[in-house]
Amino acid sequence: MEIKKSPKANLEKQKGLSLLMGLVVALAIVYVSLEYRSLTKHDDNIIAKIDIADVDEQLLIEDQKQPEPEPEPEVAKIEVQLPEEFEVVSNEKEVAKVTLISGEEDKKLPPPTVIVPQVSAADEEAEKIFTVVEKNPEFPGGINEMYKYLRENINYPQIAADNGVQGKVHLGFVVERDGSITQIQVIRGVDPELDKEAIRVVKSMPKWKPGQQQGRPVRCRFTLPVTFQLM
């Protein structure tokens, strides 16, 4: 029995072969295209790198150029002309002549006159410091006001209070003709701190009424005890 080939079967076989050949060609075209693009990009990168390197090298060469030194300023020349002739100036001065007087001529000169100021008896009495007068000096307001002033103005030294020091300081001073107090001194003291405070408070007193002798104010010496007592 003889087998006959069908024309339809041959057509199907050729059609499959054509599709396979078309697929191979398409793949070849895609591969070639990809290789071409890769080669082109690689070349561009190389060119870009070369260009950058050339620019950097040119900049470095320009930076290494040293600036030209500035020209030095011209110094003005000063000409000094010396005189051809010099004049010598003498600095010698004439010394005043001193004439000495001999012993004989000195005897002829009159002796110097000494003027002694005359002091009247009234002036001597005014400068005198009295210890006893007709009217004693007085604190303004009397003796009670004086002790009140002392109590209110004495500041007991803390160091003396801590050590329990107390006692009576005797002061002597002069009441002037205008009532002011001068020449304060310690006649009999107790402690340096108490003595100092007694002098301070007496010095701060207002002016007294001065003592009087024959109806006139006179300088008078006065003694005052200042008592320090711890309560």
Overall average pLDDT of the 95-102 stretch: 54
Report the DSSP pairing between strands 167-175 and 129-130.
unpaired
The confidence band for 160, taking pLDDT boundaries of 50, 70 and 90, is very high
Q: What is the pLDDT of residues 105-135, one digit of tens each?
A: 555 666 666 665 565 556 666 789 999 999 9
> Could you tell me the pTM of the whole model?
0.47
The confidence band for 8, taking pLDDT boundaries of 50, 70 and 90, is low
Long-range Cβ contacts of 152-160 (<8 Å, 24+ apart):
153/201, 153/204, 154/197, 154/198, 154/201, 154/226, 154/228, 155/197, 156/197, 156/228, 156/230, 157/191, 157/193, 157/194, 157/196, 157/197, 159/193, 160/191, 160/193, 160/194, 160/228
Q: Which domains does the chain have, with CATH numbers?
A: 123-228 (3.30.2420.10)
Helix (H) or strand (E) holding 175: strand 167-175
Q: Which amino acid appears at position 87 of this protein?
A: E
Overall average pLDDT of the 40-59 stretch: 44
